């Protein structure tokens, strides 16, 4: 499916209410949060429970909401993409805790959820079965019905990523 390009100015208008909610979320949880509107880029810094290492979570929102955003853990310069050393290592926990959304896929860290463009095959991710990232809301509905994770606003995405981040220890690689 061909995806029309949404002008950045329109995306900024579309995303603004979600950023407002996400910013309130970050304040509630003491998470460092920066929205760089010109770049349509969101930067947050997370610290593991009892830890001291900063993990740098970056979201990019070009063409949002026609296309899923791009989420990854990156380095302190906010540039690197998918390095295992930038990703937190999940701790396996017994039920009812569910599997982590942080995945080592072909030696690359991936936040494996329908709301992440990088989880799709076209983004070098594992999922061919979801179609393209422009079908992310359909994929989200299917995943949700199957008991898998769903998040369709910026704040909800952050909350789910932090949910699983709190069940990590150290680095993935």
Among 14, 36, 39, 99, binds another protein (CB under 8 A): 99
Q: Closer CB to another protein, residue 76 or residue 107? A: 107
143-172 binders of another protein (CB under 8 A)? 143-144, 147-151, 153-156, 158-160, 163-164, 166
The reply on whether position 32 binds another protein by CB under 8 A is no
User: Which one of the spans 6-14, 55-63, 65-73, 109-117 is the region binding another protein (CB under 8 A)?
Assistant: 109-117
Q: Closest approach of Cβ 151 to another protein, in Å?
A: 6
Alpha carbon 140 to its chain's center: 13
Q: Closest approach of Cβ 2 to another protein, in Å?
A: 25
For residue 78, the SS3 value is: coil
Among 42, 113, 118, 172, binds another protein (CB under 8 A): 113
Provide DSSP, 121-146: GGGTSSBSTT--GGGHHHHHHHHHHT
The reply on whether position 102 binds another protein by CB under 8 A is yes
Q: Closest approach of Cβ 24 to another protein, in Å?
A: 4
The reply on whether position 62 binds another protein by CB under 8 A is no
Q: What is the 8-class DSSP label of residue 127?
A: B
Q: Find the angle CA(97)-CA(143)-CA(121) to the nearest 5 degrees.
A: 110
How far is residue 42's CA from residue 171's CA, in Å, rounded to a whole number? Answer: 22
b/e string for 12-23 if b means 16 or more Cβ within 10 A?
beebeebbeebb
The reply on whether position 127 binds another protein by CB under 8 A is yes
Asked whether the beta carbons of 125 and 105 are under 8 A apart, the reply is: yes
How far is residue 111's CA from residue 13's CA, in Å, rounded to a whole number? Answer: 26
Asked whether the beta carbons of 84 and 172 are under 8 A apart, the reply is: yes
The reply on whether position 47 binds another protein by CB under 8 A is no
Q: Closer CB to another protein, residue 54 or residue 141? A: 141
**44 φ, ψ (degrees, to nearest 5):** -135, 150
Question: Which stretches of the chain bind another protein, using CB under 8 A?
Answer: 18, 20-25, 28, 49, 96-103, 112-114, 119, 126-127, 129, 140-141, 143-144, 147-151, 153-156, 158-160, 163-164, 166
């Amino acid at each position: 499916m061909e995806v029309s390009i949404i002008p950045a100015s329109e995306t900024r208008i579309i995303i603004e209410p979600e950023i407002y909610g996400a910013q309130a979320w970050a304040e509630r949880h003491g998470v460092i949060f920066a929205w760089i509107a010109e770049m349509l880029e969101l930067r947050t810094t997370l610290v593991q429970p009892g830890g001291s290492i900063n993990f740098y979570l970056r979201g990019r929102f070009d063409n949002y909401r026609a296309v899923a955003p791009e989420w990854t853990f990156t380095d302190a310069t906010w540039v690197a993409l998918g390095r295992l050393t930038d990703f937190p290592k999940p701790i396996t926990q017994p039920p009812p805790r569910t599997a982590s959304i942080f995945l080592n896929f072909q030696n690359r860290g991936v936040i494996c959820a329908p709301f992440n463009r990088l989880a799709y095959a076209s983004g070098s991710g594992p999922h061919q079965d979801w179609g393209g990232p422009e079908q992310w809301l359909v994929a989200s509905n299917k995943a949700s019905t199957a008991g898998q994770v769903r998040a369709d606003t910026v704040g909800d995405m952050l909350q789910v990523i932090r949910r699983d981040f709190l069940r990590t220890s150290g680095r993935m690689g």
